């Protein structure tokens, strides 16, 4: 009776608090059973004023918590500031260890540093160091800002380690230096937490508003909408730079990246494929040790989990694979609640997963991991040392021993690449002039060609793989990373079975998690070679941190001109300078023929700035740009050319227009695509205006000459614009506007009822090359599948990375590790009659495009071919009415695939004779179609010049 009364009272009270009502469906986890606790250390709740999992903590509140704890426990805790985010939040590392370890932190760091170079420390010395050395455990939280359970967990872990006198916790502190990364993505977290707190009712209904994060919030990404868990390869984002700097200062042996939120908790062992540069069986052995320990803890709590599924270890840019390639054991943990699931979420069996329970699971996994690290301390340190030692050894038996990177294609862009390597502590040499024998050209890719001797008279960078960072260097630089043969066979078998399935039958899902090619030289569009021959080059010296600055000082050329400035288009910076000058209302021209000046021929595409046509401030403006962008500028003091018909005053030196740039920023648009364009324009200080589709329909385009449509779902572009919006767009283009589309937005342009191009999508309903036309419009279906949120936001059981809750209206047509908003391109619903006629989407490979060098879109490209990323099944027939500036040859002498995985019997065959870059003149304007994003993740930059050309030159020809 009394019990009933209490229960009734509880229910009554909880009517005012929906969260707790649902939370009663499971036992409330107690975070404070691992004491005794030191009373002077404040619990997070005493500062936050709410219980664990009742509310989302903002970044500033969290800072108050860790500061209060650090202040109360100075013997164990020290906070390091490691750098600002784009939105001026400070990123922190909280170092926690025993008082004895804290008193000698610098010594521990220095000893640890000695374990990374086996050339300076022999195994006996390493063993000696390891005896009295704790492991460094890097516990990172909230890289995806909307995976909110990890953020709250972090404060509980900090408190536990700072306050508890429990024996097990003491053992952790004695054997670990724990580095808590308090927020890998503070800006994304803040967007999500503030939004969620402001709308949430704690409702478990999957359709509730709080489970549908708006486009402009989407806290997974950082400020520039980059996925920070893909960014380690090129470290484009400030958060990645902050973290990498700290990472290489501490050299941790254990790394855990805390995420959310699949159906059940995930911890390693990881799924296949595993990057072949990781040493086996060591990598698997450590994943087993930690995995089994976590399993014991979870079994004891009767919590569900899975291992060896979905979350792979192949792409080297994740925060598990990248640390692993540095000798740590890098692990991804995924808890099952919080984030889009909010405070409460109904599972597929009707039970409720709460925010608090998701925090509890991460908390237990964090503590178990640190206990396991403590128990295996000596063994882990030994393996960490051996990782680099054996890495150096294995070069002897491997083919690729040296990589040479040639800066002649663009020295600034190459310097950016070298800076990435320096940041990753990869040793790079420079020789001003040398010959490399048996050099294999990266551009040949999968086509085996004979090695040649190659002389670098202008100097080149040399990466010898026999160095401590061998495994990481090879993983991000090798021309192609081989896939496991059995894994590929398995995927090919699925592909063949899928081809036979009817259009209404669901297809088997492939296990690729991410792109399969990323090597930095090809991604950047920089020339590179590898060699079996690593014989010493006498004048090759290790470059230090000042080298690039010194090179820059040498390379920048500026002298004041009397008549004109010439900016040769031999670096991306030339186009950027031209746009910047135009936008500052200076007058810039381009030579459309070979230009002769200073006794030299400059190819068409060379920029000319005439002194007499500009204000006197032009001199300073150009000098400033030269300094900022690393520009080579020539001064011309006479208009009379020595040869040819075109000098700086020639008829074929044509004036360029000041581009007024807008970009679509709206729900049809892929956030990461928009983000990569935003970041690129921002880093070059090129101003643009983000516009919603509603504004465009309402006539906002009249103030602009260029409209960039980032990748997005074609069907959504179409429905958001509507017939009226499409007409508005066409009228604007006819009147002289330039529309730039890429990938999904190019598919939109090619849709029959949109008709912005004469190109057709290969395998689509209106593709004439498809013999037997299906009755229904397959392309539309395919688009639909990508673009429309499923009617119910119900994740399918198990493989639910494909069936995200559709909180985001912007599913991205690419598989994305733990990206619940990004289903992989669904297999095209083609009837089996069309088997072999419809391109199967590829996860992401580097392909060889052939350059039409007579077109203004390819100004600045002086090679016959260009490596480009392709990560879809969108292949475009050549335009019949426009120009096809980059194409895939119809009868190539070599494979079109340079690096990465493609579908045998499908990709190469169907890609032949298609176009990558199309200029479709329309009235007085242009539609420019790219088959893929030009700046994918900020890593791929080989199409930088075509992209800027499409902004620069339209309206002029």
Which residues sit at the interface with Zn ion, rule CB under 5 A? Answer: 144, 147, 259, 818
Count of CB atoms situated within 10 Å of the CB of 389: 18
Could you tell me if 756 and 927 are in contact, meaning their C-beta atoms sit under 8 angstroms apart? yes
Longest Cα–Cα distance in the chain: 107
Q: Which is nearer to Zn ion, 224 or 333 (CB)?
A: 333
CA atoms of 570 and 564, how far apart (whole Å): 18
Q: State the nearest-atom distance from the C-beta of 143 to Zn ion, in Å.
A: 6
Q: Which is nearer to Zn ion, 672 or 818 (CB)?
A: 818
Which helix or strand (DSSP H or E) is residue 150 part of? Answer: helix 149-163
CA atoms of 595 and 280, how far apart (whole Å): 57
Count of CB atoms situated within 10 Å of the CB of 453: 10
Q: State the nearest-atom distance from the C-beta of 44 to Zn ion, in Å.
A: 23
The answer to whether the bond into 269 is cis (omega within 30° of 0) is yes
Q: Which is nearer to Zn ion, 233 or 635 (CB)?
A: 233
Q: State the nearest-atom distance from the C-beta of 439 to Zn ion, in Å.
A: 41
Could you tell me if 139 and 156 are in contact, meaning their C-beta atoms sit under 8 angstroms apart? no
Q: Which is nearer to Zn ion, 334 or 427 (CB)?
A: 334
Q: Which is nearer to Zn ion, 230 or 945 (CB)?
A: 230
Q: State the nearest-atom distance from the C-beta of 531 to Zn ion, in Å.
A: 39
Q: State the nearest-atom distance from the C-beta of 869 to Zn ion, in Å.
A: 23
**How many DSSP H helices and E strands does the chain contain?**
29, 34
Q: State the nearest-atom distance from the C-beta of 203 to Zn ion, in Å.
A: 23
Q: State the nearest-atom distance from the C-beta of 713 to Zn ion, in Å.
A: 22
Written as six digits, the tokens of 542 are 């290790």
Q: State the nearest-atom distance from the C-beta of 146 to Zn ion, in Å.
A: 9
Count of CB atoms situated within 10 Å of the CB of 84: 14
Q: State the nearest-atom distance from the C-beta of 295 to Zn ion, in Å.
A: 21
> How far is the CA of 956 from the CAs of 570, 688, 929, 943, in angstroms?
21, 20, 18, 21
Could you tell me if 825 and 498 are in contact, meaning their C-beta atoms sit under 8 angstroms apart? no
* Residue recorded with tokens 């699949």: 262
- The DSSP annotation for 798-862 comes to S-TTSS----SS---SS--TT-TT-PPPPPP---GGGTTTSPPPPS-EEEEEEE-TTSGGGTT--
CA atoms of 330 and 76, how far apart (whole Å): 25
> How far is the CA of 636 from the CAs of 150, 589, 639, in angstroms?
60, 15, 8
| Chain position whose Cβ is nearest to Zn ion | 259
Q: Which is nearer to Zn ion, 309 or 628 (CB)?
A: 309
Written as six digits, the tokens of 329 are 């054991």
> How far is the CA of 674 from the CAs of 667, 938, 942, in angstroms?
11, 11, 18
Written as six digits, the tokens of 742 are 């890429």
Q: State the nearest-atom distance from the C-beta of 227 to Zn ion, in Å.
A: 9
Q: Which is nearer to Zn ion, 144 or 610 (CB)?
A: 144
CA atoms of 808 and 118, how far apart (whole Å): 48
Written as six digits, the tokens of 726 are 């499409």
Q: State the nearest-atom distance from the C-beta of 323 to Zn ion, in Å.
A: 15
Q: Which is nearer to Zn ion, 383 or 819 (CB)?
A: 819
- At residue 377, the 3 state secondary structure works out as helix
Q: Which is nearer to Zn ion, 259 or 941 (CB)?
A: 259
Count of CB atoms situated within 10 Å of the CB of 301: 13
Could you tell me if 501 and 832 are in contact, meaning their C-beta atoms sit under 8 angstroms apart? yes
Q: State the nearest-atom distance from the C-beta of 218 to Zn ion, in Å.
A: 13
Q: State the nearest-atom distance from the C-beta of 91 to Zn ion, in Å.
A: 17
> How far is the CA of 448 from the CAs of 89, 650, 898, in angstroms?
50, 46, 11
* Residue recorded with tokens 């019949």: 880
Q: Which is nearer to Zn ion, 763 or 811 (CB)?
A: 811
CA atoms of 763 and 758, how far apart (whole Å): 15
Q: Which is nearer to Zn ion, 147 or 812 (CB)?
A: 147
Q: State the nearest-atom distance from the C-beta of 361 to Zn ion, in Å.
A: 15
CA atoms of 534 and 407, how far apart (whole Å): 20
CA atoms of 146 and 196, how far apart (whole Å): 9
Length of the chain: 957
Report which of 396, 477, 367 is spatially closest to residue 32, judged by C-alpha positions.
367
Q: Which is nearer to Zn ion, 147 or 383 (CB)?
A: 147
Could you tell me if 688 and 704 are in contact, meaning their C-beta atoms sit under 8 angstroms apart? no
Report which of 677, 680, 679 is spatially closest to residue 663, judged by C-alpha positions.
677
Written as six digits, the tokens of 310 are 């979905």
Q: What are phi and psi of 486, to 5 degrees?
A: -65, -35
Could you tell me if 221 and 188 are in contact, meaning their C-beta atoms sit under 8 angstroms apart? yes
Written as six digits, the tokens of 630 are 């690393």
Q: State the nearest-atom distance from the C-beta of 397 to Zn ion, in Å.
A: 37
Q: State the nearest-atom distance from the C-beta of 258 to Zn ion, in Å.
A: 8
CA atoms of 635 and 20, how far apart (whole Å): 73
Q: State the nearest-atom distance from the C-beta of 664 to Zn ion, in Å.
A: 27
CA atoms of 470 and 891, how far apart (whole Å): 38
């Amino acid at each position: 009776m009394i019990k009933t009364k209490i229960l009734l009272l509880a229910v009554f009270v909880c009517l005012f608090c929906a969260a707790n009502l649902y939370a009663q469906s499971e036992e409330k986890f107690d975070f404070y059973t691992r004491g005794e606790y030191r009373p002077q250390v404040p619990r997070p709740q005493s500062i936050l004023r709410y219980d664990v999992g009742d509310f989302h903590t903002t970044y500033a509140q969290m800072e108050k918590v860790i500061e209060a704890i650090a202040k109360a426990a100075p013997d164990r805790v020290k906070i390091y500031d490691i750098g600002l985010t784009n939105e001026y939040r400070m990123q922190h590392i909280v170092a926690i260890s025993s008082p004895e370890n804290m008193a000698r932190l610098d010594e521990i760091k220095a000893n640890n540093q000695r374990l990374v170079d086996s050339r300076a420390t022999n195994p006996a010395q390493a063993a000696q160091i390891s005896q009295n050395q704790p492991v460094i455990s890097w516990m990172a939280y909230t890289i995806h800002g909307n995976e909110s359970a990890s953020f709250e967990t972090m404060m509980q872990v900090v408190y536990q380690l700072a306050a508890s006198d429990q024996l097990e916790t003491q053992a952790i502190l004695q054997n670990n230096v724990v580095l808590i990364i308090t927020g890998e993505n503070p800006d994304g977290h803040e967007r999500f937490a503030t939004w969620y707190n402001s709308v949430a009712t704690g409702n478990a209904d999957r359709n509730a508003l709080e489970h549908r994060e708006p486009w402009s919030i989407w806290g997974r990404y950082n400020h520039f909408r980059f996925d920070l868990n893909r960014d380690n390869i090129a470290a484009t984002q400030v958060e990645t730079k902050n973290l990498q700097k700290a990472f290489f200062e501490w050299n941790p042996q254990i790394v855990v990246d805390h995420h959310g939120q699949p159906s059940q908790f995930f911890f390693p062992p990881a799924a296949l494929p595993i990057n072949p540069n990781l040493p086996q069986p060591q990598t698997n052995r450590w994943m087993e040790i930690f995995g089994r320990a976590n399993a014991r803890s979870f079994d004891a709590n009767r919590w569900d989990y899975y291992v060896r599924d979905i979350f792979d270890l192949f792409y080297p840019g994740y925060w598990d694979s990248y640390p692993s390639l540095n000798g740590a054991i890098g692990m991804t943990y995924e808890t099952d609640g919080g984030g889009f699931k909010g405070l409460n979420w109904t599972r597929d069996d009707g039970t409720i997963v709460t925010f608090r329970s998701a925090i509890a699971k991460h908390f237990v996994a964090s503590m178990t991991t640190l206990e396991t690290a403590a128990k295996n301390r000596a063994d882990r340190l030994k393996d960490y040392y051996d990782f680099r030692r054996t890495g150096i050894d294995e070069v002897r038996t491997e083919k690729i021993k040296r990589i040479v990177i040639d800066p002649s294609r663009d020295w600034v862009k190459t310097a950016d690449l070298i800076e990435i390597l320096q940041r990753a502590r990869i040793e790079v040499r420079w020789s001003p002039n040398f010959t490399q024998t048996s050099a294999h050209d990266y551009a040949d890719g999968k086509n085996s060609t004979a090695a040649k001797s190659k002389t670098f008279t202008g100097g080149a960078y040399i990466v010898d793989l026999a160095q401590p960072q061998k495994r990481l260097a090879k993983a991000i630089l090798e021309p192609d990373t081989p896939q496991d043969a059995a894994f590929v066979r398995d995927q090919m078998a699925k592909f063949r079975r899928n081809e036979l399935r009817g259009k209404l039958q669901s297809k088997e899902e492939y296990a690729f998690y991410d792109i399969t090619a990323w090597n930095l030289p090809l991604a950047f569009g920089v020339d590179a070679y590898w060699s079996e021959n690593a014989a010493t080059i006498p004048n090759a010296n290790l470059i230090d941190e000042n080298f690039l600055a010194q090179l820059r000082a040498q390379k920048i050329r500026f002298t004041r001109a009397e008549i004109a400035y010439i900016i040769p288009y031999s670096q991306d910076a030339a186009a950027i300078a031209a746009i910047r000058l135009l936008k500052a209302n200076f007058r810039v021209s381009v030579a459309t023929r070979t230009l002769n000046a200073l006794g030299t021929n400059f190819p068409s595409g060379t920029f000319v700035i005439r002194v007499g046509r500009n204000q006197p401030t032009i001199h300073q403006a150009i000098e400033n740009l030269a300094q900022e962008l690393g520009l080579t500028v020539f001064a011309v003091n006479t208009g009379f050319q020595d040869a040819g018909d075109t000098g700086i005053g020639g008829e074929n030196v044509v004036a360029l227009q000041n581009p007024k740039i807008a970009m679509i920023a709206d729900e049809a648009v892929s956030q990461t695509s928009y983000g990569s364009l935003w970041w690129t324009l921002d880093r070059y200080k090129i101003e643009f205006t983000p516009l919603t589709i509603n504004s465009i329909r309402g006539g906002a385009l009249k103030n602009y000459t260029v409209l960039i449509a980032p990748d997005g779902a074609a069907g959504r572009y179409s429905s958001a614009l509507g017939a009226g919006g499409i007409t508005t767009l066409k009228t604007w283009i006819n009147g002289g506007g330039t529309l730039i589309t890429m990938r999904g937005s190019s598919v939109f342009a090619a849709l029959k009822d949109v008709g912005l191009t004469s190109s057709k999508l290969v395998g689509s309903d209106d593709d004439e090359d498809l013999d037997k036309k299906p009755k229904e419009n397959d392309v539309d279906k395919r688009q639909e599948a990508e673009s429309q949120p499923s009617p119910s936001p119900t994740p399918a059981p198990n493989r639910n990375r494909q069936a995200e809750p559709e909180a985001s209206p912007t599913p991205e047509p690419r598989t994305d590790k733990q990206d619940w908003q990004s289903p992989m391109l669904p297999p095209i619903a083609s009837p089996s009659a069309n088997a072999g006629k419809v391109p199967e989407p590829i996860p992401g490979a580097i392909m060889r495009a052939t350059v039409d060098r007579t077109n203004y879109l390819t100004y600045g490209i002086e090679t016959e071919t260009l490596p480009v990323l392709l990560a879809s099944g969108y292949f475009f027939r050549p335009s019949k009415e426009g120009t096809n500036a980059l194409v895939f040859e119809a009868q190539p002498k070599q494979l079109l695939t340079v690096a990465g995985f493609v579908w045998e019997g499908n990709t190469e065959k169907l890609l032949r004779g298609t176009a990558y870059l199309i200029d479709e003149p329309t009235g007085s304007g242009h539609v420019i179609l790219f088959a893929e994003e030009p700046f994918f993740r900020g890593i791929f930059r080989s199409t930088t010049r075509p992209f800027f050309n499409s902004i620069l030159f339209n309206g002029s020809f």
